[in-house]
A and B are shown apart, each in its own frame.
Chain A
Amino acid sequence: MQDSQEQNLDGHSAHITNEQQQELLARAKEAAASGDPGTMLAALYQSGVLDGLTRQIASKWRSLSLDEIGDIVAEAVDILYVAIRTGKKVLKLVPYLWKTSDHKACDYHSRRQNQSSLTSDDLERIPDQSSEVEDELDSSTKKQDWEEKRSRVIALVRSLLPRLGQQNIQNVMAYILDALEADCLDISNKEIAEALGLSSDTVRQSKHRAFQRLERIVREESLASKLNNFANLRLDYQ
């Protein structure tokens, strides 16, 4: 009986309509906002999103095991739940879940690559468990440090906005930085377009140019500062 049920669920299409899907996602969001994770989870599962998310991660990150993918989806659902529960802006659940999971999958992947590049000498130097606790504390301190620094860095990036040129480009980037500062994990072109009274196409182009220019400015600044340091060094030497 169990086998045949599995075969049925696995083997045959179990389509639900778009309307049903949207209704279930709305129910999931409402449940999360009212602190009812069980109902949120049931609605997410009923919508088929958890299945689709798992399969999508598996097809993009082929090196990850199903177990790791399960961990990633679990963490993403928890982050989503906390975000909605604490009143953070979450407009659409699926893009939010995808971006969170994709980012986590990237972390898992990088971690695995770092592990696989360890030599036998490295393995001998792996610290014992007591130093793992220290590492954890260290990493949590680092995280806290970064949280504090992050808003200063965002402010610094914001100060570069006038150098991006066209007003639309500046406005789009400013909107994205606002979202970042508010810990928003997903922001769509449509949302930016509606907020700024632009078309989605304009937002897409402005975004593209904004990032291109920002990166160029940062690169140039870095080069300039290196050249500056070099020049100072030379002067000292002379």
Chain B
Amino acid sequence: MQLQIETVIEEARRISLDVAQEVEEIFQQGNEHPLDQGKAFELLTKIISVLRQNAGERGDDATSNSLAGDIHQIIQRVIQMREPVISESTKIKLVSHNGIDPGLLRPKQRFQGVEMSINAGYVKTRDIPLWTKNPRTDIKFAQFRKDKARDPNPEECLELMWGDDKDEFKIKELAISIALNGVRVPPIIAVDGTLLDGNRRIAACQYILYNKNQAFNNEALKNAEYIWIWQLTEDATKNDEQLVIAARNFEPDYKQDWTKYTKAKELYKAWQEMSSLSPGNSDERQKRVVLAHKFAIKPDQVKKYIETIEIVEIFKDYHLDEKDKKIHEVENVVDRYYAYLEKIARLKSNNKPRKPTLDK
């Protein structure tokens, strides 16, 4: 008898358990980790089979009749019914911003040779989740999943992208450029908001918006808050999405970057102009900050370029005046050996001067 009483007490305890926490987790899990279609299909097959069988045993004809017919068709119908709910609720809507309305992009864009309709407009950066399956970042995210036995939440995704001091994905550099110029190449999203291209740009915008250490001014925050984005239209297929991913990540853009020497010359020109305009201003650090802002690089890099060009000038003078070389000949050598001259400039800056020679 004691066992029976204990069983009843246990039943009473079970039905009156407070399961608010578990229920919340069920909703969250269902939202964040829905079953893939294969598993959903298996589960629904089991449920319908059990419902049918037990209805038959109970003699519940109404239920049996309601589930009569081809089980696969019933399940297909159930699965298809979910699609609109998801797409309607997860759809990211483009909005007007700064007087610019969203609309169809003209002319149509081609990805891997396929023409696609694309809407362009603004979205709030914080509304776009990062693409955690991006092969570029996959190792980091996989490591996180292994360590914590779960997916990172949106905030952790950002922390992983931002990385530590190493700035593995060069997000901080990109953030400096975006702070100054805004996002120049529009990221591309699917209709449900899946980020197909632009993970680093979004992570950089978020980096600005979090504004740790108050490193960014209001202008920068404004540049990052809303971004101009391209969105595939509702008739885009999964295959179209794959084409966009492939086109943006595999296809070369044939852009030829300036050589470091060319960049250094341009910057040095600006440095000289600045010095001639305010000869009395001896605050070189301040000037470097202004130039860094203008060229969207770090002040340290400005210093590096200037010091290298100063070495380049010595090098050029020596070969033009004393060795009687032609200017284009010397320019070509400098362009080719710029990295070496840069190294010398660094050594000089560290008080370890070395005399450069053309032979070397």
Contacts and interface: CB of A to CB of B under 8 A. Distances in A.
A82 to B, nearest CB: 7
A12 B74 CA distance: 26
Given A52-B26, A54-B43, A211 B13 contact: yes
Interface string B232-273: 000001110110000000000000000000000000000000
Contact of B43 (A8, A35, A50): A50
A95 B48 contact: no
Contacts of B49: 74
Given A176-B15, A211-B9, A35 B40 contact: no
Contacts of A7: 36, 133
Interface in A164-181: 173, 176-177, 179-180
A55 interface: yes
B19 interface: yes
B16 A187 contact: yes
Interface string A31-56: 00001111001100111111111111
Given A47-B30, A52-B31, A149-B4, A78 B54 contact: yes
A189 B8 CA distance: 19
Contacts of A109: none
B194 A8 contact: yes
Question: Interface on chain B toward A: helix, strand, loop, or mixed SS?
Answer: helix
Size bin of chain B's contact surface? 35 or more
Nearest to B7: A153
A56 B62 CA distance: 32
Size bin of chain A's contact surface? 35 or more
A45 B35 CA distance: 10
Question: Interface on chain A toward B: helix, strand, loop, or mixed SS?
Answer: helix
B192 A12 contact: yes
Interface stretch (B80-88, B285-293, B348-356): B80-88
Contact of A99 (B7, B15, B28, B29): B15
A43 to B, nearest CB: 9
A215 interface: yes
Interface in B1-42: 1-2, 4-9, 11-19, 22-23, 25-40, 42
Which residue of A42, A47, A189 has the most chain B CB atoms within 10 A of its CB atom?
A: A42
B73 to A, nearest CB: 11
A185 B16 CA distance: 8
Given A71-B46, A157-B9, A180-B15, A55 B23 contact: no
A56 B25 contact: yes
B50 A74 contact: yes
B90 interface: yes
Interface string A69-102: 0110111011001100100000010110011001
B40 A98 contact: no
Given A35-B63, A85-B63, A176-B15, A42 B81 contact: yes
Contact of A186 (B15, B62, B241): B15
B38 to A, nearest CB: 6
Contacts of A59: 29
A82 B55 CA distance: 9
B77 interface: yes
B89 interface: yes
A118 interface: no
B333 to A, nearest CB: 52
A12 B85 CA distance: 15
Nearest to A183: B15
B215 interface: no
Contacts of B37: 2, 5-6, 9
A78 B44 CA distance: 12
B113 to A, nearest CB: 19
A4 B242 contact: yes
Nearest to A36: B66
Contacts of B74: 38
Given A35-B63, A187-B15, A45 B40 contact: yes
A150 interface: yes
Contacts of A13: 31-32, 90, 129
B221 to A, nearest CB: 26
A218 B9 contact: yes
A39 to B, nearest CB: 9
B347 interface: no
A75 B50 contact: yes
B46 A74 contact: yes
A195 interface: no
A153 B7 CA distance: 9
B19 A98 contact: yes
B320 interface: no
Interface string A13-32: 11111101100100000000
A189 B238 CA distance: 46
A184 interface: yes
Given A1-B239, A47-B30, A16 B85 contact: yes
A20 B55 CA distance: 29
A78 B51 contact: yes
Interface string A137-169: 000000000000110011011000000000000
5 closest A-B pairs by beta carbon, nearest first, are A52-B30, A48-B30, A52-B26, A4-B238, A6-B36
13 contacts: A6-B36, A16-B85, A37-B48, A37-B51, A46-B82, A48-B31, A51-B29, A53-B30, A55-B30, A95-B22, A103-B14, A204-B18, A218-B2
